[in-house]
Amino acid sequence: MPAKKTKTENSEFSFEASLERLNAIADELENKNPPLDKALTLYEESAGLLKLCSEKLKNAQAKINLLNKE
């Protein structure tokens, strides 16, 4: 059975929504001291969000570079 897709794997998840979720995860990890299993799940989610944000920034930079060449 294939793994269920998370929001972080969805390319329609906006950059701004990703940053908002990353901030919420950081707040939870820093201030709420979750149990290890939950902390690992949050860390995994944040890694996916960071990858998504990085890809979106890279694509935006490529588009800006292309527009500047025109």
The CA angle 52-56-61, to the nearest 5 degrees, is: 150
**For residue 18, how many other CB atoms are within 10 A of its CB?**
20
Q: With 50 as the cut, is the pLDDT of residue 63 above it?
A: yes
As a whole number, mean pLDDT of residues 30-59 equals 96
As a whole number, mean pLDDT of residues 6-33 equals 85
As a whole number, mean pLDDT of residues 19-32 equals 97
Q: CA-to-CA distance for 26 and 11, rounded, in angstroms? A: 22
Residue 32 C-alpha from the chain's centroid: 20
